[in-house]
Structures are given as C-alpha cells and as structure tokens.
Copies of this chain bind each other. A is one copy, B any other.
Amino acid sequence: MANEKNNIPIKIYLSEAELPKQWYNVKADMKEQHAPFLNPATLKPVTFEELCGIFITELVKQELNETDRYIDIPEEVLNFYKMVRPSPLVRATFLEKALGTPAKIYYKFEGNNTSGSHKLNSAIAQAYYAKEQGLTSITTETGAGQWGTALAMACSFFDIKLDVFMVKGSAMQKPDRVEVMKTYGAEVTPSPSMVTNVGRKISEEKPGTTGSLGCAISEAIEVCATRDKCKYALGSVLDYVLLHQSIIGLEVKTACEKYGIKPDIIIGCAGGGSNLGGLIGPFVGEKIQGKNDIRIIAVEPASCPSLTRGKYAYDFGDTGKITPLLKMYTIGNGFIPSPIHAGGLRFHGMSPIISKLYADGYIEATSVGQKEVFEAASLFSRTEGILPAPESAHAIRATIIEAEKCKETGEEKTIIFGLTGTGHFDMSAYRMYNSGEMVDSILTEEDLQKGFETIPKVD
C-alpha cells in the first residue's frame, strides 16, 4: 500500500475486483431532502403509482428511496459494466506542463465506450430493469445524442425496442451520431416532429425551431403513453440517474484512497446534472458529514445558465408541460437556448439533488463561454491526446481557470475533473472553431426574463 501511494501511475485503472458492487445514494446522507415532485393538476406530491405510469417501477422505487445509503447493482448490470469499467483516472501531466501550473490535475475519463460518454452507466441499468419488468419497448429523448446512443446500446443488449426523439438541431449537426443509434437498432426521430401532438403544436408556434430537450421529452412521453408494455426513460436530472452515475464517484474515491490522492477541488460540467451528481456523490456525502472540505464546482454554458442565473422554483421538466413539477434551478420550461454546440448542456432545469446541494451551499457554480470552452478543448486535445466532447470541455475550461490561479499563488492544489466523453461526433462544432467562425452566444436579460415567464406560479 505504501508502495502504491508512492508510485501513482499516469493512468489509474482499478481492477475488476475493485469495481463497486453497489451504487451510492447521496440522499441517505443529506440533512434535508429536495422538495417532492408535485402533480401539476392538484399541486399535491406525486404518488408512487402516478410515477409508475410513466417510469419503470424499480426505478421509481430508487427515485423515492431516501434512506438506503447503498443499493446493490444487479449482477447482469455488473457484467455489462465490466466491458467498459472501471474507467481510468488519469493524471494530466502534459496539460499541467503546458499551463506551467503547480496544480496536480486528474481527470476521470468516461469516454472509452462506443456511446462515447458516461451515459451508459445508467442506460444499461434502465434497460435491465425494463427487461425484468417484462417491457418490450422504451421511448426517450436525446440532446447531444450521447444518451440516445447509450440507451440504444443498452436496449440492443437486452433486446428491447427503442424510440429516440433527438433535438433537431443536434440531429442535423450529427448524422453520424444518428447512424450509430440506428446501428444499434434504435428508431430516431428529429424533434419537434410531426408524429406527436406536442411536436406539431411547438412546430406551429415556433416555425423553424431547432428544438430543445424539454420539447423532445414531451414527445417521448406522449408516444410512450399510447403504447402497451412501454415506459419512458430519462438519462439525467432524476435521482435514480444520479444513483447509477455514482459509480463514477465511487471509483474515483477508491482510486484516491488507494494512491493517497486528496482532492482540493472537484469540477464537473452540468446540464441535467447526471455526470456531476455521479462524480461528486460520495465526496459531497462526506462533506455534508463534515469529513472533508472539498470545493465542488458545477460548470454550465453561459448560454444556458440554470444554476448561475436561474430561479430555484417548481417547474415542468419539459416544454409541453406533461411531466410532474420539479423544485429545481430553472430558466423556464419555455426557454429554447440558442443552438450552441454542447447539446448535452441545453436543459432549462437542473437535477433536484444538485439544485438542493447548491441551494444549501455544498457546491459552487460557474458559467463559461463557448469560445473559451473550445480553446480549452483544443489545448486538451493537443496535450492529452483525447478530443473531448464540447460538454466535457466546459469542465476542462473551469479546471484551467483554477490551475491558472494556482500558478499565480503557487499553491499545489489537487484538482479532479470529470471528462464525460469524446467529441468524435462533434466535429461540425470543431469545424466552426477551427475555421474561426465560432461565436459566443450571449443570453440577454430580456431573453432570460422571457424564459422566467414560463415558470408556473406555484405557492
């Protein structure tokens, strides 16, 4: 052990025996829970039965579980995990050198799989529980396409039919991403589409819209409701997704303990909050208990700043107002962000767990502009050899800012950030950056207020 602590490899791969056998439920350690989901019609807490109308039953149980600190990972899910996990925790030695910083930078890389991101961690669990429940199909939405690809892989593995509503702007930018989903047998429909009522309504109200996650969610839920043995799957925001993603943070924690690494700062990009919640889970659990004082930073795009400029309020999870009401940081369910290139960070709201942790002061938030994000992505590509997803590059940018502060002060801080995935299907965005055509998308106070107006009055 002493020997291991003195000999930290550049890439820390845990053994399969060290793969966590249970997920970590941060809610068991939270002093106060986030507010319950509300039924928008009655404004009363949504019941277990109501949630089971939309979601897979076992996942609803996990969603409502506030007491069990650890939940067993089913064996079939563990076996699948072994194909792609444990994922490496990598020391960014070449990035450190390029920055000339005394900071020690590590990244947890979740992109070593065909879906190209961490989304597979929850996708395979959701497909497994669907199969166990005897379902034959699933509907979902996808923004950047990483979640859709991951669920397509998972559904293919368990032989379940999948329909994906993909934000139209992303589907147009990434035909190859669409083709990967098709290779795994999924049906992909650009959203808003003409196959649902809500899709037709939104298309009529906002002609030429490139869509939003909120709109695609509405369409997926609408189609699901018309089918037998079908449920709707969500790849972020919800508590059960953060539960599955806790495998990221648990592996990081095991690696840190094994090699004596003590993080001062943990940084993750935040769209719906699935990666961030998973990455920080066990660390923030200990922070709540006063066992550490790690700075935790959520990074969001300046063009879709739910934490840094949003309101902490009850809002719908979708544009069509079909979902229950969630208490979260939101810029309004009617907000349609400019078609920036980090499609995975375009959700108007934020995970209720992350929102609560932010409101209670356990985590910080910051927002960064698109150009500085791609500048960071480019530097990272060249130094560390991995071409990052635009989403992940938000965390890289924030890490560089912190590392540069260390350079000024001389502090040798240890920073860990989540490298959620690769940008192999985001080359159209890189093309804009490489050709100098990329612009920052500025969110005006006026547009923000317009979004706020769509937040329902609940009090």
Q: Name A's B-contacting residues (CB within 8 A).
A: 7, 9-11, 13, 15-17, 79-80, 82-84, 90, 93-94, 112-114, 116, 153, 156-157, 175-176, 179-180, 182-185, 378, 381-387, 422, 424-425, 427-428, 430-431, 434
Contacts and interface: CB of A to CB of B under 8 A. Distances in A.
Return the 6 tightest CB-CB contacts between A and B, nearest first.
Answer: A176-B427, A9-B16, A179-B427, A424-B424, A10-B82, A114-B387
Contacts of A182: 431, 434
27 contacts: A7-B17, A9-B15, A10-B16, A10-B82, A11-B83, A83-B94, A83-B384, A84-B385, A113-B385, A114-B381, A114-B386, A114-B424, A153-B385, A157-B385, A176-B425, A176-B427, A179-B427, A179-B430, A179-B434, A180-B387, A180-B424, A180-B427, A183-B378, A183-B387, A185-B382, A424-B424, A424-B425
Contacts of A434: 179, 182-183
A327 to B, nearest CB: 37
Given A11-B16, A113-B386, A184-B381, 6 more contacts: A9-B15, A79-B93, A84-B385, A114-B381, A179-B430, A183-B378
Nearest to A159: B382
Contact of A11 (B82, B116, B156, B425): B82
A13 to B, nearest CB: 5
A431 to B, nearest CB: 5
Contacts of A184: 381-382
Determine which residue in A176, A185, A434 has the highest number of CB atoms from chain B within 10 A of its CB, and name it.
Answer: A176
A385 B94 contact: no
A113 B114 CA distance: 12
Given A11-B83, A15-B9, A430 B183 contact: yes
A153 B422 CA distance: 15
Given A183-B430, A427-B179, A430-B183, A83 B385 contact: yes
A184 B385 CA distance: 9
Majority SS at the chain A contact face: helix
Nearest to A19: B9
A158 B94 CA distance: 12
A157 B382 contact: yes
A9 B387 CA distance: 29
B431 A179 contact: yes
Contacts of A378: 183
A82 to B, nearest CB: 4
A123 to B, nearest CB: 11
A52 to B, nearest CB: 30
B94 A382 contact: no
Contacts of A386: 113-114
A400 to B, nearest CB: 18
Contacts of A180: 387, 424, 427, 430
A171 to B, nearest CB: 14
Contacts of A431: 179, 182
A9 B179 CA distance: 32
Determine which residue in A15, A93, A424 has the highest number of CB atoms from chain B within 10 A of its CB, and name it.
Answer: A424
Nearest to A14: B13
Contact of A112 (B94, B112, B157): B112
Determine which residue in A13, A79, A114, A185 has the highest number of CB atoms from chain B within 10 A of its CB, and name it.
Answer: A114
